[in-house]
A = this chain, B = another copy of it.
Amino acid sequence: MSMALHEVIAESIREQIRVGELTIGSALPSESQLCERWKSSRGPVRQALATLRAEGVITGGSGKPPVVCTTSIPQPFDSLLSYSAWARAIGRSAGQRTLELALRPADPLVAPKLGIDEGARVVQVLRLRYLDGERAMLERATFVEHVGRLLFDFDCDSGSIWAYLQSRGVNFSTASHIIDAVAADPLDSEHLEVTEGSPLLRQQRTARTADGEVIEYHDDRYLPGMVSFSLENTLDVRTSLMRNAKP
C-alpha cells in the first residue's frame, strides 16, 4: 500500500516527535525547506501541515510558523483495535490463551450490537490476554458467521485474530469504541482472578467494513492496574472522544 506524499511528510514529522528529535516548542522547517527536502510542490507540504494542525500536533498557520505543541502522537487505526499490534507498538509482548471458540445462536445482548436477528449464528471467542506474561484482560469477541468461520482454520492461541482476518481478505474500515467501568462477573472473576464485583475497565467496540456491515463486536475487560486510556487536547483542536450520559 503506497502512501500519498502528504501522508509521508506528516508521518515523518510525527516520527521525529516520537523519537524526540522535535520537542515541544520546536519550530518545524519552513514550507520552502520542507518542499526542498521532499522534492515536493507546496500542495502536499501544506496538506501535511493541515493534518498535523487538525490532529493537535502543531500550532501556527495564518502566517505564524508551525511549532510542535504536544508529544502525544495520534494513533493509527489498529492501535485501538488490535491488542497484539498495540502491545508491539509500545514494545511490550502480548500473549493469549483461548478458553473457548464456539459457533452458537446470537443472544439478546450481542444480536443488536451486530445488527442481526437474535438466534442468527455467530462465532464467539473467549480469550485471556497477557501483557509481558501477566494477565491483563478478558476478551469476549463475537463475529458474524461468515467472518467467524474463518477462525476455524486459525490457532487463536497463536496471536492476532485481527491480523489473521485481514490476511484472509476481511477489510476492517471503521470502528466505534465505548469505554466504561463494570463490576467483575463470575466469568471475569474466575479468569482474571479478582473478586466478583471488583472494578474492571471495559472497552466495547464494533468494527465495520467499508460497506458498513458490522462484522465484529468485542467486550474487553481490563484489570484496572494494567491499562488506562489517555488523550491530550487543546483549545484549538477538536477531539473525537465524547463523554456520554446514559439515557
Interface of A with B (CB < 8 Å)?
Answer: 4, 24, 47, 50-51, 53-56, 62, 69-70, 72, 74-77, 79-80, 86-87, 90, 92, 131, 136, 172-183, 195, 197-203, 212, 222, 224-246
Contacts and interface: CB of A to CB of B under 8 A. Distances in A.
Nearest to A174: B234
Contacts of A90: 244-245
A229 B244 contact: yes
A201 to B, nearest CB: 4
Number of copies: 2
Given A55-B240, A200-B181, A201-B180, A246 B229 contact: no
Given A224-B180, A224-B182, A246-B228, A234 B173 contact: yes
Contacts of A226: 245-246
Contact of A233 (B175, B199, B246): B175
B198 A86 contact: no
A20 to B, nearest CB: 17
Contacts of A201: 179-181
Contacts of A55: 54, 238, 240
Contact of A183 (B198, B212, B227, B230): B198
Contacts of A229: 178-180, 229, 241-244
